[in-house]
Structure 1
Amino acid sequence: MPTPAEESTPTPRVPERATPPAEPLPADAGLPTPHDRPADPVLSVATFERVLEPRSENRLPLGDGTWYQLARSYVWVRLISVTAMLVLVLVAAAVLTAFVGEPWPWVPGGIAAVVFALTAIITPRQARSFGYQLRADDMVFRRGILWQRMVAVPYGRMQLVDITHGPLDRAFGIAHLKLVTAAASTGVEIPGLTQAAAETLRDTLIEVAETRRTGL
């Protein structure tokens, strides 16, 4: 049984050790968010404002992050190309009709003319359905209104980044960028980028792809 002296003696308290605050993790630690790559303003110059989506609720969702689009001048390049093909078809049908003396060349010529005319009508809306997004580990590409396609290309799988442009493209300051991967089915071609955007995107993809391959 404790004595009165023992009962009056307070028990010394051990001071609690302060827990140091947790240090923030680096940006590349853990699971990155799907849209943690910084936006590049060069990729948004002279482009459309937003990606057009189908009205159906069952469409492929765009998700979060920054989506980049094609250059506005790409529509003019497509319209000029389609119009030139339409004129060639009509001229060829007229020449064949005069040569054979029968109107049957206008049948295939008329069908081709209708196809080219419909292509010219849907070109502005089709161009606005293209979009690409630079995520932490891959690049997402989408296109299409009626027939949608969305492809995610991992940076480490990229083998070649190719830029091409013809005389008409150079006149309007646009270029086409093509990504070649180990699997041919996952290759992506982005038409109608501005020249500066194509070069910036090429350099960015090559740099990130080399980093991903080094870390494998």
Structure 2
Amino acid sequence: MRVDGTYDRILEPRSPRRLPLGEGTWHQLARAYVRVQLISQGAVFALVLVAAVAVQALTGFAWLWIPAGVILLVTAIGLVITPRQARSFGYQLRRDDLVFRRGILWQRVVAVPYGRMQLVDITHGPLDRGFGIAQLKLVTAAASTGVTIPGLTQEAAENLRDTLVAVAETRRTGL
């Protein structure tokens, strides 16, 4: 882990058929992102468990555990893979575009040209604010190339927003 609270490297799949990460500096998510995700998913897990127990106690329907069990299983899997998933996120500022990468099994690498950006938006919920993180959303004309970078420190999100706006101003395109 770096001093700024981010991961020190992007995990790269070992398969020879993987998508290459390329050269340059990859910026990472804040480690607080994992804590926020674990708290959110843990709350869903606890809420579903309590609701299932309460409904069964009141009604006596045992079949209720089938949908509740599916939800609990999916949430438990999410709790287990969240730390590894967070390490696969990263972004890189290149000369003409911003490249965003996420995913281990289902990889997605998106290059968003600076000239195509229409809006840079920073959002954060109450839990995010409590942990000092935000998400930065890049909106483009094409819906498929829009990128949301979750789990940035507030400072990193503001710096990235300012950098992207400055680049767009110098090129007189986009924003």
Aligned to 1:119: 78
Secondary structure of 2:172's aligned partner: helix
Aligned to 1:92: 51
Identity %: 72
Instruction: Give the letter for the 2:137 counterpart.
Output: K
Pick from 82, 100, 105: which aligns with 2:41?
82
Deviations 1:66-121 (A, max 9, x none): 00010011100000000000001101111221222121111111111110010010
Aligned to 1:138: 97
Secondary structure of 1:104's aligned partner: helix
Aligned to 1:46: 5
Q: Kindly indicate whether residue 172 of structure 2 is the aligned counterpart of residue 213 of structure 1.
A: yes
Tell me how far apart the structure 2 counterparts of residues 212 and 91 of structure 1 sit (CA, whole Å).
55
Is the 2:116–2:173 Cα contact (8 Å) retained in structure 1? no
The 1:137/1:114 distance shift into structure 2, 3 A limit, reads same
Instruction: Give the letter for the 2:143 counterpart.
Output: A
Secondary structure of 1:47's aligned partner: coil
Q: Kindly indicate whether residue 37 of structure 2 is the aligned counterpart of residue 69 of structure 1.
A: no
Q: Kindly indicate whether residue 114 of structure 2 is the aligned counterpart of residue 152 of structure 1.
A: no
Is the 2:118–2:140 Cα contact (8 Å) retained in structure 1? yes
Secondary structure of 1:115's aligned partner: helix
Structure showing greater Rg: 1
| 1:179 CA drift (Å) | 0.3
Aligned to 1:23: none
Aligned to 1:191: 150
Is the 1:73–1:174 Cα contact (8 Å) retained in structure 2? yes
Which segments of 5 or more consecutive residues in structure 2 lack a partner in the other structure?
Answer: none
Q: TM-score, normalised by structure 2?
A: 0.95
Q: TM-score, normalised by structure 1?
A: 0.77
Tell me how far apart the structure 1 counterparts of residues 90 and 61 of structure 2 sit (CA, whole Å).
47
Is the 1:48–1:71 Cα contact (8 Å) retained in structure 2? yes
Secondary structure of 1:83's aligned partner: helix
Secondary structure of 2:118's aligned partner: strand
Is the 2:89–2:103 Cα contact (8 Å) retained in structure 1? yes
Say what the alpha-carbon RMSD is for the aligned residues: 1.3
**Corresponding residue pairs, total:** 172
| 1:212 CA drift (Å) | 2.0
- More divergent stretch after superposition (206-215 vs 45-54): 206-215
